[in-house]
Amino acid sequence: EVQLVESGGDLVRPGGSLRLSCAASRFAVDSNYMSWVRQAPGKGLEWVSVIYSGGSTDYAHSVKGRFTISRDPSRNTLFLQMNSLEIGDTAVYYCAGGSGDCGTDCYDYWGQGTLVTVSS
Amino acid sequence: DIQMTQSPSSLSASVGDKVTITCRASHNIDTYLNWYQQKSGEAPKLLISAVSSLHSGVPPTFSGSGSGTVFTLTIDSLQPADFATYYCQQSHSVPLTFGGGTKVEVK
């Protein structure tokens, strides 16, 4: 069974940094595409960033230049480095994996989420 | 960017009812449209991809249709497990975007 397990969420001050991790089991982070999707408290889903199997990446306008997505195939783990955090970045962050079975950029596997709170 | 608009934002229904949710895209997205279900406190789950392909394990009471800019998710005979929030998502182009969600509540 595929498992995606996020970690690294925490309370951080505005302007601070945080690195989220998503450890994958039975799902190769470098052979599939993966995204980070966030959900602010009581709000809907917002796509944050994607990394494709070939290594190309992309970002939502709201985080471009502040967040960096990466992966470590040796640890089979996905990362999201978040810098210059803003109060508006407060959310549960989900990692999501797409096996390609459902087409392009659809996500058939999701982690349980990790909470990032940005507050002074 | 492609904007996705869902309607209604919420609805009340009873077990056994037929429910239809609409999702509109601001640009033509062909059939690059997926649907997710999210229950309170849980991660989203893929229901339908490419407009109408049911994901593994999704009951056939769910169906999707549409193309271009207007899409629908239909639940025939609503079951207790179906009370949740539903999101559409376009996979036509980056930035990927989701609809605002439709919360299906007990009437």
Could you say which of B38, B46, B50 has the minimum Cβ distance to residue A107?
B46
CA distance A21 to A82: 11
Q: Would the pLDDT of B37 be above 90?
A: yes
Query: Chain A contact for B24, CB < 8 A?
Result: no
- pLDDT of amino acid B57: 94
- Measured CA to CA, the distance from residue A45 to residue B85 in angstroms comes to 11
pLDDT given for residue A120 in this prediction: 96
Beta strands B97-98; B102-106: pairing state: unpaired
What DSSP letter does each residue of A88-120 carry, written as one string? Answer: GG-EEEEEEEE-STT-TT--SEE---EEEEE--
Q: Is B58 on the interface with A (CB under 8 A)?
A: no
Supply the pLDDT for residue A69. 98
Nearest C-alpha of chain A: how many angstroms from B18?
24
Q: Which of B76, B102, B78 is nearest to B23 (CA)?
A: B102
Q: What pLDDT does residue A100 have?
A: 84
Q: Does A3 touch chain B (CB under 8 A)?
A: no
Please tell me if residue B54 touches chain A, with a CB cutoff of 8 Å. Answer: no
Q: Determine the average pLDDT of the residues in B97-101.
A: 98
Distance from CA of B48 to the nearest CA of A (A): 8
Q: What is the reported pLDDT for A101?
A: 84
Give every residue of chain A whose pLDDT is below 50, as ranges: none
Q: Is A39 helix (H, G, I), strand (E, B) or coil?
A: strand
Identify the residue among A105, A109, A112, A115 best suited for mutation to test binding to B, counting B beta carbons within 10 A and taking the highest: A105
Contact A106 B98 (CB under 8 A): no
CB of B22 within 8 A of CB of B71? yes
Give the integer Cα–Cα distance in Å for A25 and B80.
Answer: 31
pLDDT at B2: 97
Give the closest of A44, A59, A108 to B100, CB-based.
A44
Is B46's CB within 8 Å of A60's CB? no
In this predicted model, what pLDDT tens digit does every residue of B43-72 receive, in sequence order? Answer: 999 999 999 999 999 999 999 999 999 999
Summarised one tens digit per residue, pLDDT across range B2-18 is 999 999 999 999 999 99
